[in-house]
């Protein structure tokens, strides 16, 4: 990790390190609170937690500009927070309250935010990829220099829409970053049981696309790879695919008994978790001090409490609004 | 002043006009450029507008339909052409889970101003994977508008209005209409896309139809007229939302209704219209509602069987006679 200071274009400052750490901790504590609220039945439906994978959303978002677009999956709380959507609005969405970022209509799997160009929250695996291709196409046609980043899991790689999108983006030289979060399990099916070729970057390379594989547990590696990819894309060199190797510490969703993997495997990954490792490194190198971490934890705890209070105080949309939001005119 | 043109040329003129008037409009689909369109609708447009705006796509219906949705979100006004309604099933995820739901799911922060055109219907002996009429399926989905232009004026005028809609619009072009020629006003342009049209006035019964079946239904009305029966012919034009007001007013006047729909009869658009008549005009009826739909069979290849599978004039006339209490 220490080589990150001199290697590549990324120069770390104390502020930057604190920020990366803070953003990952925000996601972690938010997700832990969501799990708790789920058992209290405050949050219902499917709930997919990002615990263990925080470094990817945090590192990639560092490389984005405000005018860029993000397309994410149903495991997108972390992306939403890292992108800058307020924790309170995201939590209210978890509750289904009309103060939520999608007015409560979406819930955990459908977080949207126009202000940060956050296009979901897509719960059809692979379904967000063509959308990202189209956003990239619109940018190219209109001469914008902005980039669309599309997050998806390794499970999506088996979908036809992945292959169609890889081909279209490469064929049309579109400004899209394909950020594949490989946590090695599509729900309960391990990669080797679903892919004949488990080296995912080779799939993108087959479409003539620049592709990399990166340690997704190392936030600095993630950020550096994302920055390099964005520079490549902004220079008009076409789309980039990055596989971020990661691991999901929690169940797929709250209904998952995790029969498909050994507890020891989970523990092994947890021991090298992205926050744990980065925090240790930051303390060892003297970038941050124990007091900084305590301060971050206190701030985040207060932010989470405020988000929960905001969601609790939120209101239910009246039944009379049931059919609202289907179209500009009723169809 | 009028011009003589085909339905195909009317659609082409509508696309060309939209692209001329609005830089955000582009056409994307399989073989729309160099080939000129599977049904030759876009022939010549590549030369006129160039490959940046007349985009040949690979055979990736879900991919390029989704790209159309994304481009619409990104500020463009795409026209996506799907070669046939059967192929549109490969894009159904994007249409239903994406285009139709994004406004709602995002709490109205995003909308998808996308137009998707596709060919529909039987009659060209294209057999069971190129000939179906699935517009009724699409009309089931809240969040999209479904149009069926049957006339030259609608082929010419619906597209521009559809492109002004902030939400997705699907336009179904019946394959048997492309060669249909006629006169159209020189200054023909945008038309309303919300109302059904009374294509023939009559007082004895209402024949309710849309798309490719309109001309057969008008033929049946002519035949009935020779027997002294004056049928009112309603062209639905918009399949979602349905202009209930127009067809209910007609049924309340004539007290009898026959619905002609090229979809299969079970769980069809015709079933929906029949239900709405029951719910809203039951006490005005003098006879049970009749339906003329496609036989419950995938569309067969041989001409005689294909013809027999879909609504034809004799069946429409027979159904009309049945509602009038006459021997069929």
Which residues does chain B have with pLDDT short of 50? Answer: 327-328
DSSP conformation class of A113: B
DSSP conformation class of B13: H
Q: In A143-218, which ranges are continuous DSSP H helix?
A: 160-171, 191-194, 201-205
**Cβ contact, residue pair B143, A130, below 8 Å:** no
Give dist(CA A100, CA B105) in Å, integer. 12
Answer yes or no: are the C-beta atoms of B112 and B145 closer than 8 Å. Answer: no
Answer yes or no: are the C-beta atoms of B139 and B100 closer than 8 Å. Answer: no
Q: Residue A255's pLDDT band (boundaries 50, 70, 90)?
A: confident
Q: For A106, which of B106, B143, B167 is closest by C-beta distance?
A: B106
pLDDT greater than 80 at residue A4: no
Instruction: Please choose, from the candidates A35, A22, A9, A49, the residue with its C-alpha nearest in 3D space to the C-alpha of residue A287.
Output: A22
pLDDT greater than 50 at residue A7: no
- Given the residues B130, B135, B272, B306, select the one marked as catalytic: B130
Other beta carbons within 10 angstroms of residue A27's beta carbon come to: 28
Question: Do you know the residue count of chain B?
Answer: 328
Task: Calculate mean pLDDT across residues A179-184.
Answer: 97
Q: Is B130 tagged catalytic?
A: yes
CA distance A105 to chain B (A): 6
Domains recognised in chain A with CATH numbers: 13-313 (3.40.50.970)
CA distance A207 to chain B (A): 13
Q: In chain A, which ranges are continuous DSSP H helix?
A: 14-39, 54-62, 77-83, 87-95, 128-142, 160-171, 191-194, 201-205, 219-234, 263-271, 274-284, 290-313
Task: Calculate mean pLDDT across residues A258-273.
Answer: 93
Q: What is the mean pLDDT of chain B?
A: 97
pLDDT digits (tens, 9 = 90+) for A28-60: 999 999 999 999 999 999 999 999 999 999 999
Other beta carbons within 10 angstroms of residue B102's beta carbon come to: 27
DSSP conformation class of A106: S
**Cβ contact, residue pair B73, A138, below 8 Å:** yes
What is the Cβ-side half-sphere exposure of residue A200, based on CA atoms within 13 angstroms?
29
DSSP conformation class of B232: E
pLDDT greater than 90 at residue A6: no
Q: Put the strands of the sheet holding A240-245 in their side by side order.
A: A118-121, A69-72, A148-153, A176-182, A240-245, A210-215
| CB neighbour class for A277 (10 Å; exposed up to 12, middle 13-18, buried from 19) | middle
Q: For A327, which of B62, B67, B167 is closest by C-beta distance?
A: B167
Question: Do you know the residue count of chain A?
Answer: 331
Answer yes or no: are the C-beta atoms of A43 and A253 closer than 8 Å. Answer: no
Q: For B142, which of A119, A135, A331 is closest by C-beta distance?
A: A331
Q: Which residues of B touch A114 (CB under 8 A)?
A: 106, 109-110
Q: Residue A328's pLDDT band (boundaries 50, 70, 90)?
A: confident
Give dist(CA A318, CA A18) in Å, integer. 42
Task: Calculate mean pLDDT across residues A79-90.
Answer: 98
Calculated CA dihedral for residues A70, A191, A163, A205, nearest 10 degrees:
90
Task: Calculate mean pLDDT across residues A79-87.
Answer: 98
**Cβ contact, residue pair A331, B72, below 8 Å:** no
Q: Which residues of A touch B64 (CB under 8 A)?
A: 130, 164, 168
User: Scanning every residue of chain A, which has its alpha carbon at the shortest distance from the alpha carbon of B80?
Assistant: A134
- Given the residues B61, B135, B232, B262, select the one marked as catalytic: B61
Give dist(CA A168, CA A178) in Å, integer. 12
CA distance B196 to chain A (A): 14
Pairing, β B257-264 against β B290-294 = parallel
Q: For B68, which of A122, A134, A328 is closest by C-beta distance?
A: A134
CA distance A128 to chain B (A): 8
Residues of B with CB under 8 A from a CB of A: 26, 52, 57-58, 60, 62-76, 78, 93-94, 97-98, 102-111, 142-145, 165-167, 240-241
pLDDT digits (tens, 9 = 90+) for B52-107: 999 999 999 999 999 999 999 999 999 999 999 999 999 999 999 999 999 999 99
Q: Which residues of B touch A131 (CB under 8 A)?
A: 66-67, 69-70, 73, 98
DSSP conformation class of B90: G
Q: Residue A186's pLDDT band (boundaries 50, 70, 90)?
A: very high
Which of A90, A108, A115, A134 is the best substitution to test chain B (most B C-beta atoms within 10 A)?
A: A134
Give dist(CA A23, CA B226) in Å, integer. 80
- Measured in whole angstroms, the distance separating CA B47 from the mean position of its chain's CA atoms is 28
Question: What is the complex's ipTM, to 2 decimals?
Answer: 0.93
Answer yes or no: are the C-beta atoms of B34 and B46 closer than 8 Å. Answer: yes
Q: Which residues of B touch A165 (CB under 8 A)?
A: 63, 66
pLDDT digits (tens, 9 = 90+) for B242-272: 999 999 999 999 999 999 999 999 999 999 9
Task: Calculate mean pLDDT across residues A89-114.
Answer: 97
Nearest-Å Rg of the Cα atoms of chain A is 19
**Cβ contact, residue pair A141, B62, below 8 Å:** no
Calculated CA dihedral for residues B313, B314, B318, B321, nearest 10 degrees:
60
pLDDT digits (tens, 9 = 90+) for A142-173: 999 999 999 999 999 999 999 999 999 999 99
Answer yes or no: are the C-beta atoms of A79 and A92 closer than 8 Å. Answer: no
Q: Which residues of B touch A325 (CB under 8 A)?
A: 103-104, 107-108
pLDDT at A9: 65
Calculated CA dihedral for residues A280, A286, A287, A289, nearest 10 degrees:
70
Q: What are phi and psi of B101, to 5 degrees?
A: -110, -15
CA distance A240 to chain B (A): 17
pLDDT greater than 80 at residue A5: no
Answer yes or no: are the C-beta atoms of B56 and B30 closer than 8 Å. Answer: yes
The SS3 call for residue A50 is: coil
**Cβ contact, residue pair A134, B94, below 8 Å:** no
| Helix (H) or strand (E) run with residue B155 in it | helix B152-164
Decide if B2-185 and B197-323 have a common fold. Answer: yes
pLDDT at A331: 58
Q: Which fold has domain B2-185?
A: Rossmann fold (3.40.50)
**Cβ contact, residue pair A113, B70, below 8 Å:** no
Give dist(CA B207, CA B259) in Å, integer. 6
Q: For B66, which of A130, A148, A167 is closest by C-beta distance?
A: A130
Q: Put the strands of the sheet holding B290-294 in their side by side order.
A: B197-200, B231-235, B205-209, B257-264, B290-294
Which of B29, B59, B67, B95 is the best substitution to test chain A (most A C-beta atoms within 10 A)?
A: B67
Task: Calculate mean pLDDT across residues A241-253.
Answer: 95
Q: Is B61 tagged catalytic?
A: yes
Break chain B into its structural domains and give their ranges: 2-185, 197-323
- Could you tell me if residue A108 is left (phi over 0), alpha (psi between -120 and 50 degrees) or otherwise beta? alpha
Those residues whose C-beta lies under 8 Å from the C-beta of residue A69, and which sit 6 or more positions away, are A117, A118, A119, A132, A135, A146, A147, A148, A149, B74
Q: What are phi and psi of A264, to 5 degrees?
A: -65, -35
Instruction: Please choose, from the candidates B107, B38, B81, the residue with its C-alpha nearest in 3D space to the C-alpha of residue A99.
Output: B107
Q: Which residues of B touch A122 (CB under 8 A)?
A: 98
Which of B52, B66, B116, B193 is the best substitution to test chain A (most A C-beta atoms within 10 A)?
A: B66
Task: Calculate mean pLDDT across residues A211-225.
Answer: 98
| Helix (H) or strand (E) run with residue B217 in it | helix B213-226
Q: Which residues of B touch A132 (CB under 8 A)?
A: 70
Q: Which residues of B touch A102 (CB under 8 A)?
A: 105-107, 109
- A with B: how many residue pairs have Cβ under 8 Å apart? 157
User: Scanning every residue of chain B, which has its alpha carbon at the shortest distance from the alpha carbon of A98?
Assistant: B107
In DSSP terms, B292 is beta-bridged to B260
Q: What is the CATH number of domain B197-323?
A: 3.40.50.920
Inter-axis angle of helices A128-142 and A160-171, nearest 10: 10
CA distance A272 to chain B (A): 36
């Amino acid at each position: 990790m220490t080589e990150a200071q001199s290697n590549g274009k990324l120069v770390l400052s104390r502020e930057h390190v604190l920020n990366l750490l803070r953003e990952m901790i925000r996601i972690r504590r938010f997700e832990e609170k969501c799990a708790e609220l789920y058992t209290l039945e405050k949050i219902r439906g499917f709930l997919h937690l990002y615990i263990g994978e925080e470094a990817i959303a945090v590192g990639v978002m560092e490389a984005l500009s405000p005018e860029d677009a993000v397309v994410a999956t149903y495991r997108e709380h972390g992306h939403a927070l890292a992108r800058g959507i307020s924790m309170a609005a995201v939590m209210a969405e978890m509750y289904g309250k009309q103060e939520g970022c999608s007015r409560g209509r979406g819930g955990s799997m459908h977080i949207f935010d126009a202000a940060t160009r956050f296009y979901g929250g897509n719960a059809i695996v692979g379904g967000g990829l063509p959308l990202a291709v189209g956003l990239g196409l619109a940018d190219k046609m209109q001469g914008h220099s902005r980039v669309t980043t599309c997050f998806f899991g390794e499970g999506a790689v088996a979908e036809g829409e992945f292959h169609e999108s890889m081909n279209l983006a490469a064929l049309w030289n579109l400004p899209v970053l394909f950020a594949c979060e490989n946590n090695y399990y599509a729900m309960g099916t391990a990669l080797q049981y679903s892919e004949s070729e488990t080296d995912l970057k080779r799939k993108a390379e087959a479409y003539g696309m620049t592709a990399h594989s990166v340690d997704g547990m190392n936030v600095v590696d993630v950020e550096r790879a994302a920055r390099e990819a964005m520079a490549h894309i902004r220079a008009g060199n076409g789309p980039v695919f990055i596989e971020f190797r990661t691991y999901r510490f929690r169940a797929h969703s709250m209904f998952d008994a995790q029969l498909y993997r050994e507890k020891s495997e989970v523990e092994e990954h947890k021991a090298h978790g992205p926050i744990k490792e980065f925090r240790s490194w930051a303390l060892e190198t003297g970038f941050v001090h124990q007091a900084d971490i305590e301060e971050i934890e206190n701030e985040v705890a207060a932010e989470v409490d405020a988000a929960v209070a905001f969601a609790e105080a939120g209101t239910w949309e009246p039944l009379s609004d049931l059919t609202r939001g289907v179209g500009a005119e009723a169809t | 002043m009028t011009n003589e043109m085909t339905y195909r040329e009317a659609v082409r003129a509508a696309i060309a006009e939209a692209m001329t008037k609005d830089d955000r409009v582009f056409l994307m689909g399989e073989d729309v450029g160099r080939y000129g369109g599977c049904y030759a609708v876009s022939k010549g447009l590549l030369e006129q507008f160039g490959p940046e705006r007349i985009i040949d796509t690979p055979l990736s219906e879900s991919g390029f339909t989704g790209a159309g949705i994304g481009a619409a979100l990104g500020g463009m006004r795409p026209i996506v052409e799907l070669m046939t309604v059967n192929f549109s099933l490969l894009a159904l995820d994007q249409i239903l889970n994406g285009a139709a739901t994004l406004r709602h799911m995002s709490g109205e922060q995003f909308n998808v101003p996308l137009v998707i055109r596709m060919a529909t219907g039987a009659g060209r002996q294209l057999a069971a994977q190129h000939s179906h009429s699935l517009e009724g399926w699409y009309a089931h989905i809240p969040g999209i508008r479904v149009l069926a232009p049957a006339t030259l004026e609608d082929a010419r005028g619906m597209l521009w209005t559809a492109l002004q809609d902030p939400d997705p619009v699907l336009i179904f072009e019946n394959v048997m209409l492309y060669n249909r020629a006629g006169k159209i006003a020189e200054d023909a342009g945008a038309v309303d896309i919300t109302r059904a049209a009374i294509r023939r006035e009559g007082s004895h019964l209402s024949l309710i139809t849309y798309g490719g079946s309109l001309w057969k239904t008008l033929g049946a009305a002519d035949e009935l007229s020779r027997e002294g029966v004056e049928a009112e012919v309603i062209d639905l034009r918009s399949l979602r939302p349905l202009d209930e007001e127009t067809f209910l007013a007609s049924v309340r006047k004539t007290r009898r209704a026959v619905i002609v729909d090229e979809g299969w009869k079970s769980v069809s658009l015709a079933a929906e219209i029949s239900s709405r008549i029951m719910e809203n005009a039951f006490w005005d009826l003098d006879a049970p509602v009749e339906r003329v739909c496609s036989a419950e069979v995938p569309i067969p290849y041989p001409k005689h069987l294909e013809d027999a599978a879909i609504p034809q004039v004799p069946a429409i006339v027979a159904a009309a006679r049945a509602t009038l209490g006459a021997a069929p």
